[in-house]
Chain A
Amino acid sequence: EVQVVQSGGGLVQPGGSLRLSCAASGFTVWDNYMSWVRQAPMGGLEWVSVIYSGGSTYYADSVRGRFTISRDNFNNTVYLHMNDLRADDTAVYFCARDRSASYAFDIWGQGTTVTVSS
């Protein structure tokens, strides 16, 4: 079955760090664009970051310099490393596959909650 399963997340204090994981099965992450998308409580979707099949990485202005996307080809997993977390980073984070390289996401993870609070 083609799917991604997420792990990580939780409660962290402002200024803290967290790592989210996105383990893929049924396809290989290095052959696809993989993105992270987040959704604030009672809010809309926000694109966060992407790693291209060639390895290039890109970020939304709101997280650039604080978040890092990476992948482990051996474990077929994509990560989102989040540093210097702020209250407005509180959201459900989704991992998503962009199969057609057109910022259209056909496979989504179940979502993982990140809460930044003291």
Chain B
Amino acid sequence: QSALTQPRSVSGSPGQSVTISCTGTSGDIGAYNFVSWYQQHPGKAPKVVIYDVSKRPSGVPDRFSGSKSANTASLTISGLQAEDEGDYYCCSYAGSFSGVFGTGTKVTVL
């Protein structure tokens, strides 16, 4: 199973919006509504910010939103804040009882 494709980096100024794409195939993202997104800070465990494509866990700010179209999922961070800086990974159920993560995107707050 190949990793899902994400841009290496995105950046934005405080208050702006950034969107991270996550491209898979008709066998993973395109086939299931089981896409999740994780924020990871250096040396820390990942933290889920979106699950089941667009659901937000309790405690996650509503500036985080998710969507999906065909084989591509997206995470949008609106009203970017300094604490949003970090690495972000998408993940999808890939069929055959397996999961697959994205390549990761570094978000920089300018």
Contact = CB atoms under 8 A, between A and B. Distances in A.
A85 interface: no
Nearest to A94: B45
A100 interface: yes
Main SS at interface, chain A: loop
Contacts of B47: 108
Nearest to B45: A108
Task: Count chain B CB atoms within 10 A of each CB in A35, A46, A56, A102 and give the residue with the most.
Answer: A102
Contact of B104 (A45, A58, A60): A45
Given A103-B36, A104-B34, A45 B91 contact: yes
Looking at B40, B46, B102, B104, the one whose CB has the most chain A CB atoms below 10 A away is B46
Nearest to B35: A104
Given A102-B36, A104-B48, A108-B47, 19 more contacts: A35-B99, A44-B101, A45-B38, A45-B46, A47-B91, A50-B97, A50-B99, A60-B98, A61-B1, A100-B52, A102-B93, A103-B91, A103-B93, A105-B48, A106-B48, A106-B51, A108-B46, A110-B45, A111-B45
